[in-house]
Amino acid sequence: MIADDWFRKAYETASVPNKEDMIRPYHLQGAGIIGGIMAEALSIGSYMAELQAIARALTMIPYSWSITIVSDSLAAIKAIHKYTNETISQRKQLRMTAHPLLNIIYNTIQRRKYYNSQVSFIHTKSHTNQGDSNQHSLGNSIVDFAAKYYCSPTSATGSSSSSSRVSVPLCLKHVCQSLPIEKGIAHIRLYKSCNLYDEKIQRWRNVNTLIVDDMRHILYNKIHQQLMQQWQQSKSQSQYAGEHILPLANLITLITLITLITLICYLYKYYMPMPYY
């Protein structure tokens, strides 16, 4: 959502309801709303979606213009501040969730600094639906409505009939191409295999998706699954193998470790020679 002349006029004249559930498509005729396609494997939760929206906003506005981004995702804003902090190491950056997107945002901000443009972030409350009389709340309500309408027209209008969608603004029908998230990784790119349901062919298909989280966690989970599978296939231990037995195994390991430490301390105390002075 761009805070252009249409938005300022809509706010001043109150032509668009402040409450999200009262907004209808005809209220948004002429609104500067831009959407994008996001891979299904990367669209779990709002964190990735918010970062993609911020990355698109930073790249679509001319670099010589200063820009203020208003978002209802405090997690995304904090992650950007942390990633762009000069004191953070590259190792910690790679461990952050969605580090490819954060790297794209970081590089874009650095390029904007070259043109002496400023980038600032403002957090606004989300889904208050209280009709707050401020521009940030109105813009957030419009964006949330547009996102829900794009995902499912029936969720926004309450009807799936064609007559309810005649007055849909053209800006809601046009979307950008998928953001090349892999460009945010400079060196090694890791992919994982996952099954997604393709509505066009009406069946599940296997796709390779880019790993955007901490690679150590992904590899740890993969090794854990492989070891668990080997354990369950063991001839002598298969009847005891399973996730349900792990808490008991961890408890036994902890007790054994405490016992060994206690024994070592005892031996050190009573069998080590006393120093002479």
**CATH numbers and ranges of domains, the chain:** 5-184 (3.30.420)
Greatest mean pLDDT among 10-14, 20-24, 30-34, 103-107 lies in 103-107
Which pLDDT belongs to residue 78?
93
Confidence of residue 255 (pLDDT cuts 50, 70, 90): very high
Average pLDDT over residues 46-72: 87
What pTM, to 2 d.p., does this model score?
A: 0.66
Task: Output the CA torsion sign for 241, 243, 244, 249.
Answer: positive
Average pLDDT of the chain to the nearest whole number: 77
Number of CB atoms found within 10 A of residue 145's CB: 25
pLDDT over 60 (residue 165): no
Confidence of residue 199 (pLDDT cuts 50, 70, 90): low
Confidence of residue 252 (pLDDT cuts 50, 70, 90): very high
Which pLDDT belongs to residue 127?
56
pLDDT over 90 (residue 81): yes
pLDDT over 70 (residue 202): no
pLDDT over 80 (residue 20): no
105/35 Cα distance (integer angstroms): 18
- Give the range among 43-47, 143-147, 233-237, 252-256 with minimum mean pLDDT: 43-47
Average pLDDT over residues 232-241: 83
